[in-house]
A and B are shown apart, each in its own frame.
Chain A
Amino acid sequence: MSQPAKEDTNIITLDDLRPRPKEKKSLSEYFMPPRHSYILFDPQRCTGCGTCEMVCSQRNVSKVAPSSASIEVIRDDERGKNFAILCQHCRHPLCLEACPTRAIEKGEDGIVRINKLFCVECGLCTMACPEAAPLRDQKTGGIDKCDLCEGDPLCVKHCPEEALIFTRGKGFRWIKGLRWTVQLLSFLLLVVVFVGTFCYFKAGAVTLACPTGLLQNIASSGTIVLTGVSSALALLILTAIVGRFFCGWVCPFGFVLDLVGSIIPRKIGWPSFLKSRMTKYGILAGAVGGSAALGFQAFCTICPIGGLCRAYGVQGFFKGAELAIVPALASLEVGQRRSWCRYFCPVGAVLGLMANLHLIKIVIGANQCKKFSCIQCSEVCPMGIIDEKLLREGVSPTIPMTECIMCMRCIDRCPYDAAKIRFRWQKGVPGIPGETEL
């Protein structure tokens, strides 16, 4: 519907002054996301004394009036639990989207504020917010919302139990930096320096081989060569200890997918029949069966990892047809991140089987996580294995280690330290020492 043209463009109305929602991410946001400032609440420490409400109301209405505070402590006497309702300054605030007068804005400093000039006190923000954080002042009927005291929250400063902790979020994510560095180095080593060594590498007595290639080799030749088995064992043992670390940190095709995935937008949704994680095991079985029938390593001819590793150099780029598989499979990223790794990669399938033995695991403690305003772990997981629904319900989800590629994006991104690495036998999850994941 077209808007009626303004008769006099020189007149500035309140509507012109209101901030408009930001539609696109700036380039800098791709590489260095804005800081996420918020207050962490520790329910175990909170005694319900209400000092936070007192100091907050002092700032809001210049008197001690707990019902006019922007923080509310809910005291459940029957269950002996205290909860604090306070704004989490979400990355994508729902209150901001719900506000019909665009009175709510998220500043460059990450603080979500209500501009009282534009607020008509309709209360839609309180309904939209999953934490119910914009609070209605029971005396005046206005809406109170935490503005983090412009970066120095009084409630945090005066909480006698230190149950409130102010954090500006993580700045540089060191795991992310380290992973990209390792991935780049691995790519250069496997693709440029030691061409073709991923499929088979021999230096003196040391031999390394791709486990999927080995399976196909055994199937096609009908013989088991002991040195071949031992050479594939290195990667398998590593996987049995740390899970599919190879996929997340070393695989050159994984690196290509991550690069492509961070640049191209995801616009196409895959049909559900394509989204079966069992497909890769079918492809693995097909590769082994096909190799036995054809008498050569059938999948290796179209393997994107092998294709990349063999493509550089004199015999490399000019092989053309083999290399063409790489952009073709990388284009699957328009649907989901790491689509190839999730559903189709037979190398991942072999490693996934070994990862069943995993010595370490990743756990996410729902109790420590701010379910509604964050869910960043689920957003950043390239394999899509963190159950957002369970987290929202307050249940610690089990991370299937057969699918997890140990990229540790969840650990790196979680602002609440709710995602951690644990040994397989450790039962606790962050937040509740005795609680186990579902």
Chain B
Amino acid sequence: MKNFYNMKVGIVDLAESSVETVPLDAEMIAEKIGGAAVNRELFEKYGDADSIILGVGPLTGSYAPASCLLVTTFRSSVTGSLSHVPFMHRSGPEMKFSGFDFLVIKKVAPRPTVLNITEGTVTFFPADYMVTCEVPEIIRSIKQKMHRGGTAIVTGPAADNESPFASASEGLWSSLDKTGLASVLGTKNVKGLVFNGIDGLPFGVDNLAKSDKMIRAIGLYGPSRENGFISVLEKLGADDDIKTMLHKSRAKNIACYRCPFPCMNHIDFTEKASEHMRGYQSHREVNLMDHVGFLTLARKYKGEVFELLSSCIRLGVDPVVVSAMLPEGGTMNDRLEMLKVISAGPVEGGLKEGEQEGYQTLGGIAPEKHKLFGGGLAPIVMQGTEDPSYAWENRVALSLVLGICPLFLIMFPAIQEADLISFFAPEKGALKIFQDRVNSSTRLLCGH
């Protein structure tokens, strides 16, 4: 499994602005495999109560389909226990190619800081000027520090204002963080994490053919314009109005790293005229990757969903909570004003309702299990299993250990665990051993 890791852990002390690089324990990797399972170990070994661990799986960045995962582990203020928030798109491979497999972020920075992770080093940039800036402004500013293809996880004004409903954003794509990662980053004075992966790893070239075969087997080779965001919403039980609205405005399908299933959308929409600017129409764009957040908002505010979601991303707040706390009636201006209030700091009440509203489509999955994995993953139950909730948890945990997109594994149950493990353990004997270890890691994560 050595070819699948850099074998490096970075321990970042924010208070001292220093980084200690320690070798990744080969035995631990052999035992726990990677991703969230190793994050958990590192949290216990190096972390303090409010540490954040970032990690990748063995398959992250490799030829395996949808090998885009980066998983963050921290103690959630929402659940009071450890939470594993997955980040997709390109953050996993970029972190791995930046020279670190795992990062332990400890203590509190004396001032707002951006961490630039590249070539096995971490550089600290002061980010005072970014405080209260909206996410697009921060991203534009950070881009100057990025190499080509780099990516960044940032927090918006909501995290600066210590709002409990803050949500981190990967670039302009938002994220599945609904358990308070952004708040923890905010309390640590971390405005952003920039990953510039300019190196690489020699994943076996024979894995490419294996991966292509796997993708063909699930029928995902070839143009897939009709798939994407909508097909995930369909599984979540979105009604026809929402699907039609998306069909009408869908601009482009976007996929994560090495993913044959583009489940994200870029949308062009026209901003509605505000009260005092009647007749004025403005062309706007928004990226959709948070299926649950979008669906919750769309069910309540159909025509205004894109505008509201765009504002949520700009301010860095969780759309599920926003949907519960915004008033039913009133004008769009009222809602936008309320959004600003939500992002400006702690607001009394509404959260419980919001949770009920947002997670009404959980389909039998226990809310605490859903929140264990960030609370933003699409709760799509796998049909034909005896206990759908158990199957969902296991599938997500598997993806978080191996470094594969959890949504991809949930959407395509035909992909076998053994097929994925065979990428790094091609021999039969080793495959069996690693299968057992992966199973024990997933059980540990799920708390079974």
Interface residues of A (CB under 8 A from B): 44-45, 47-51, 53-55, 57-58, 61-68, 72-75, 77-82, 138-139, 158, 160-162
Contact of A65 among B97, B223, B256, B260 (CB under 8 A): B97
CB closest chain-B residue, reference A136: B148
Decide if B80 is an interface residue (CB 8 Å cutoff): no
Selected from A67, A78, A161, the residue in CB contact (under 8 A) with B224 is A161
Given contacts A65-B199, A138-B148, contact A80 B255 (CB under 8 A): no
Residues of A with C-beta under 8 A to B255: 47-49
What's the nearest-Cβ distance from chain B to residue A50, in Å?
6
A and B contact pairs by CB, cutoff 8 A, 24 listed: A45-B223, A47-B253, A48-B254, A49-B255, A55-B208, A57-B200, A63-B201, A63-B203, A65-B97, A67-B97, A67-B149, A68-B200, A74-B148, A77-B139, A77-B171, A77-B266, A77-B287, A78-B172, A80-B287, A138-B148, A138-B198, A160-B224, A161-B223, A161-B224
Q: How far is the CA of A161 from the CA of B228 in the complex (A)?
A: 13
Decide yes or no: A61 and B200 within 8 Å by CB, A67-B97, A138-B148, A161-B224 being known contacts: yes
Pairwise interchain contact A50-B258, C-beta atoms closer than 8 A: yes
Closest to A42 in B: B223
Interface contact B200-A49, CB-CB below 8 Å: no
Within the complex, the shortest CB–CB distance from A68 to chain B, in Å, comes to 7
Contact string, B184-211, partner A, CB cutoff 8 A, digits 1/0?
Answer: 0000000000000111111101001000
How long is the Cα–Cα vector from A61 to B247 in the complex, in angstroms?
42
Counting contact residues on chain B (CB < 8 A from A), the size range is 35 or more
A-B contact number at CB 8 A: 109
B173 at interface, CB cutoff 8 A: yes
CB closest residue in chain B, given A68: B200
Output the nearest chain B residue to A61 by Cβ-Cβ distance. B200
Q: How far is the CA of A64 from the CA of B258 in the complex (A)?
A: 12
Say how far B167's CB is from chain A's closest CB, in angstroms: 17
Q: Flag whether B221 is at the interface (Cβ < 8 A).
A: yes
Contacts of A79 in B (CB 8 A): 266, 285
Expressed in whole angstroms, the Cα–Cα distance for A160 and B259 within the complex equals 9
Query: Contact check: which of A54, A68, A81, A161 meets B258 at CB < 8 Å?
Result: A54
Query: Within the assembled complex, what's the spacing in Å between the Cα atoms of A61 and B205?
Result: 12
Smallest distance from the beta carbon of B250 to chain A beta carbons, Å? 10
Among A68, A72, A80, the residue within 8 A (CB) of B266 is A80
Q: Are A49 and B208 CB-contacts (below 8 A) given A61-B200, A80-B251, A138-B148?
A: no
Q: Would A50 and B285 be within 8 Å (CB), given that A58-B205, A61-B200 are in contact?
A: no
Given contacts A44-B252, A49-B262, 12 further A-B contacts (CB under 8 A): A49-B255, A49-B260, A63-B201, A67-B147, A67-B198, A72-B149, A74-B148, A77-B172, A80-B254, A138-B147, A160-B220, A160-B260
Residues of chain A within 8 A (CB-CB) of B258 are 49-51, 54
Is the CB–CB distance between A161 and B200 below 8 Å? no
Q: Is the CB of B257 within 8 A of A158?
A: no
Greatest chain B CB density within 10 A among A47, A78, A82 is at: A47
Residues of A within 8 A of B149 (CB): 50, 53, 66-67, 72-73, 75
| Interface residue from A65, A78, A160 paired with B221 (Cβ < 8 Å) | A160
Q: Give Cα A64–Cα B285 distance, bound, in whole angstroms.
A: 33
Any chain A CB within 8 A of the CB of B442? no
Interface of chain B residues 379 through 405 with chain A (CB within 8 A):
none
- With beta carbons under 8 angstroms apart, the residue of A63, A77, A158, A162 that contacts B202 is A63
The CA-CA distance from A307 to B305 in the complex, in Å, is 74
Which residue of B136, B222, B252, B257 is within 8 Å of A49 (Cβ)? B257
- Would A50 and B257 count as touching, CB distance under 8 A? yes
Is there an interface contact between B148 and A67, defined as CB atoms closer than 8 Å? yes
Q: A63-B201, A65-B199 are in contact. Are A78 and B257 (CB under 8 A)?
A: no
A72 to B364, CA, bound (A): 43
Which residues from chain A contact B287 at a C-beta distance below 8 Å?
A: 77, 80
The contact string, 1 if C-beta is below 8 Å from chain A, for chain B 268-290, is 10000000000000000101000
B237-268 interface mask toward A, CB cutoff 8 Å, 1 = contact, 0 = none? Answer: 00000000000000111111111101000111
B90 at the interface (CB under 8 A from A): yes
CB of B63 within 8 A of chain A?
A: yes
Contacting pair A64 B222 (CB below 8 A): no
Known A-B contacts A63-B201, A64-B203, A67-B197; A161 and B222 likewise in contact (beta carbons under 8 Å): yes
